[in-house]
């Protein structure tokens, strides 16, 4: 079969390494007139148009986006597709918010039809926001997981997701058991992990809603399938941390609960980590467990301020990505998430610059998911998931970006002022999947 070749041209940025740890000139690539050639969903060439134009197949004219910025697609390292309907729920912090809103909405996902409709809207919203990969919580019901993977497969998106494990401290209708949780997760993992672009994540909700027996079973499942991801929450809210201490008095702290049950390591993504201690951060770095920084959620629920400079301290750097944490988070946009991450960092007097912010939203997130060799970069050999950003998306943005001096200021302005309107187009595996201006052209 003839291979499918596509190409785009325009200003481009991407990463070859971590700008928190290496000089940016070594790891940050900016082509003012770049060319990206993709073959069967894989980037086969990326660089300057002048240098690469001769590699275009005869007759293929690249889609040209002059005056835009082409970046690797955004990676959302922590979200809940089943909470799409409860964004902006008023008035409570974490535990009350879970009880009043979340645990009510998630029960609706026992209905496969409802799950399918929300999963479809969720995937479309990701693409409208330039997010090509997400690591998502589903609900406790296996059919809620099938719904998301089916919708992701229809769009050929690289999505990681899993069935929530929870066997205590929630309404009965949302509880599984250590045995049923293990067996349902195993069956889903075997059905979906590595099927197409799908990845399975073993997903204990958080320590308070799992018994020791369930965490033990989750650890056993991960040992049997070490290529899968592990996805949970940690140290988001101070009340939650006290609760974990009361539930697991024999453990040294919240992180130690997961450590004890074998739930830390590469491909473990822990959402929030706002209140992790220095020792706990070191332990994450040592084991390879990553943290998903979710600033819009942390501000919305009043959880606290994540210190990204401590997490990325070059003496013991952790792997960090950005997460929207829908529906405690308030936006699907990784641009909006970078904006809030900047403000949270400012509150501890750390200027999170645009190069670092875009790294967290792309290759940093991909690495957190153990997929940094496949997505999150425009480097040749990566999968051709990318986003085309429009610096003139609104009159105000156009006015401001016209004064930007250089790519770093332009990226900063896009991060601080951008949202879904800024996403001109999103490509998935080399194919146009969302086109802001001609929606009917989308795949």
Query: Which chain residues interact with Zn ion by CB under 5 A?
Result: 271, 325
> How many other C-beta atoms can be found within 10 angstroms of the C-beta atom of residue 321?
28
Nearer to ligand GUN, 301 or 357 (CB): 301
CA distances from 104 to 97, 100, 173, 178, 411 (A): 10, 7, 10, 22, 39
Is residue 293 a contact point for ligand GUN (CB under 6 A)? no
Binding at 206: pick from Zn ion, ligand GUN, none (beta carbon under 5-8 Å per type): ligand GUN
Binding at 205: pick from Zn ion, ligand GUN, none (beta carbon under 5-8 Å per type): ligand GUN
Name, in order, each residue with C-beta under 8 angstroms of 248's C-beta and a sequence gap of 6 or more: 207, 212, 257
CB 10 within 8 A of CB 388: yes
The pair of three-digit structure tokens given for residue 382, joined into one six-digit string = 């990566």
Nearer to Zn ion, 24 or 78 (CB): 78
From the number of C-beta atoms within 10 Å of its C-beta (0-12, 13-18, 19+), residue 392 rates as: middle
Minimum CB separation of residue 249 from ligand GUN in Å reads 20
Strands 158-162 and 131-137: parallel
Binding at 102: pick from ligand GUN, Zn ion, none (beta carbon under 5-8 Å per type): ligand GUN
Q: Got the DSSP string for 351-408?
A: ---HHHHHHIIIIIHHHHTT-TTTSS--STTSB--EEEE-TTSSHHHHHHHTT--SHH
Nearer to Zn ion, 280 or 325 (CB): 325
Position among 205, 251, 367, 434 found at the interface with ligand GUN (CB under 6 A): 205
Residues 224-243 that bind ligand GUN (CB under 6 A): 233, 236
Binding at 98: pick from ligand GUN, Zn ion, none (beta carbon under 5-8 Å per type): ligand GUN
Minimum CB separation of residue 419 from ligand GUN in Å reads 21
Which candidate, 395, 374, 397, 384, places its Cα nearest to that of 41? 384
Q: What b/e sequence results for 72-101 when a residue is b if at least 16 CB atoms lie within 10 Å of its CB, and e otherwise?
A: bbbbbbbbbbbbbbbbebeeebbeebbeeb
CB 284 within 8 A of CB 255: yes
Minimum CB separation of residue 98 from ligand GUN in Å reads 6
Q: Which residue is nearest to Zn ion (CB)?
A: 325
Name, in order, each residue with C-beta under 8 angstroms of 29's C-beta and a sequence gap of 6 or more: 12, 13, 14, 15, 16, 378, 379
Minimum CB separation of residue 328 from ligand GUN in Å reads 4
Which candidate, 293, 235, 416, places its Cα nearest to that of 343? 416
Nearer to Zn ion, 79 or 426 (CB): 79
Position among 98, 157, 285, 375 found at the interface with ligand GUN (CB under 6 A): 98
Which candidate, 284, 249, 237, places its Cα nearest to that of 263? 284
Nearer to Zn ion, 95 or 432 (CB): 95
Is residue 169 a contact point for ligand GUN (CB under 6 A)? no
Minimum CB separation of residue 327 from Zn ion in Å reads 9
Nearer to ligand GUN, 218 or 328 (CB): 328
| Bridge partners, 14 (sequence order) | 29
Nearer to ligand GUN, 276 or 328 (CB): 328
Binding at 290: pick from ligand GUN, Zn ion, none (beta carbon under 5-8 Å per type): none
Nearer to ligand GUN, 100 or 400 (CB): 100
CB 273 within 8 A of CB 235: yes
Nearer to Zn ion, 271 or 428 (CB): 271
Write the DSSP symbol of residue 54: G
Residues 101-140 that bind ligand GUN (CB under 6 A): 102
Residues 295-334 that bind ligand GUN (CB under 6 A): 297, 325, 328
CA dist 193 and 208 (Å) reads 27
Stretch that binds ligand GUN, among 94-102, 151-159, 315-323, 398-406 (CB under 6 A): 94-102
CA dist 258 and 212 (Å) reads 10
Binding at 356: pick from Zn ion, ligand GUN, none (beta carbon under 5-8 Å per type): none
CB 77 within 8 A of CB 295: no
Contacting positions for ligand GUN (CB under 6 A): 80, 94, 98, 102, 205-206, 233, 236, 297, 325, 328
């Amino acid at each position: 079969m003839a291979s499918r070749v596509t190409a785009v041209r325009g200003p481009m940025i991407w990463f070859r390494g971590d700008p928190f740890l290496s000089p940016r000139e070594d790891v940050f690539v900016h082509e003012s007139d770049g060319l990206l050639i993709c073959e069967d969903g894989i980037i086969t060439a990326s660089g300057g148009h002048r240098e690469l134009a001769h590699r275009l197949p005869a007759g293929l004219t690249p889609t040209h986006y002059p005056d835009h910025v082409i970046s690797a697609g955004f990676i959302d390292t922590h979200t809940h597709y089943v909470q799409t309907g409860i964004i902006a729920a008023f008035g409570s912090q974490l535990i009350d918010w879970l009880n009043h809103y979340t645990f009510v909405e998630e029960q609706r996902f026992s209905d496969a039809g409802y799950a399918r409709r929300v999963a479809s809207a969720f995937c479309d919203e990701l693409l409208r926001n330039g997010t090509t990969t997400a690591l998502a919580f589903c609900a406790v019901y296996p059919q809620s997981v099938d719904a998301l993977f089916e919708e992701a497969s229809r769009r050929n998106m690289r999505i990681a997701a899993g069935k929530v494990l929870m066997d205590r401290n929630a309404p009965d209708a949302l509880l599984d058991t250590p045995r049923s949780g293990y067996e349902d997760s195993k069956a889903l993992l075997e059905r979906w992990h590595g099927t197409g672009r799908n990845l399975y994540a073993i997903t204990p909700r958080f320590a308070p809603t799992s018994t020791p027996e369930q965490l033990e079973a989750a650890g056993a499942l991960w040992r049997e399938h070490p290529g899968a991801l592990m996805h949970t929450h940690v140290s988001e809210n101070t009340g939650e941390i006290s609760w974990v201490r009361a539930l697991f008095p024999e453990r040294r702290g919240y992180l130690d609960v997961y450590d004890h049950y074998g739930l830390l390591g590469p491909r473990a993504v822990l959402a929030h980590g706002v209140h992790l201690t220095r020792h706990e951060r070191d332990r994450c770095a040592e084991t390879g467990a990553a943290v998903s920084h979710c600033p819009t959620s942390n501000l919305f629920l009043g959880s606290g301020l994540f210190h990204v400079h401590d997490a990325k301290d070059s003496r013991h750097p952790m792997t960090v990505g950005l997460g929207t944490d829908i529906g405690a988070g308030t936006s699907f946009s990784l641009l909006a998430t970078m904006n809030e991450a900047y403000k949270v960092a400012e509150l501890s007097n750390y200027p999170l610059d645009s190069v670092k912010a875009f790294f967290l939203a792309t290759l940093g997130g991909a690495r957190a998911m153990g997929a940094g060799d496949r997505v999150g970069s425009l480097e040749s050999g990566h999968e051709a998931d990318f986003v085309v950003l429009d610096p003139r998306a609104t009159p105000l943005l156009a006015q401001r970006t016209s004064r930007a001096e250089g790519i770093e200021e332009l990226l900063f302005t896009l991060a601080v002022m951008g949202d879904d309107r800024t996403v001109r187009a999103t490509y998935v595996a080399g194919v146009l999947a969302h086109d802001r201006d001609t929606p009917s052209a989308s795949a």
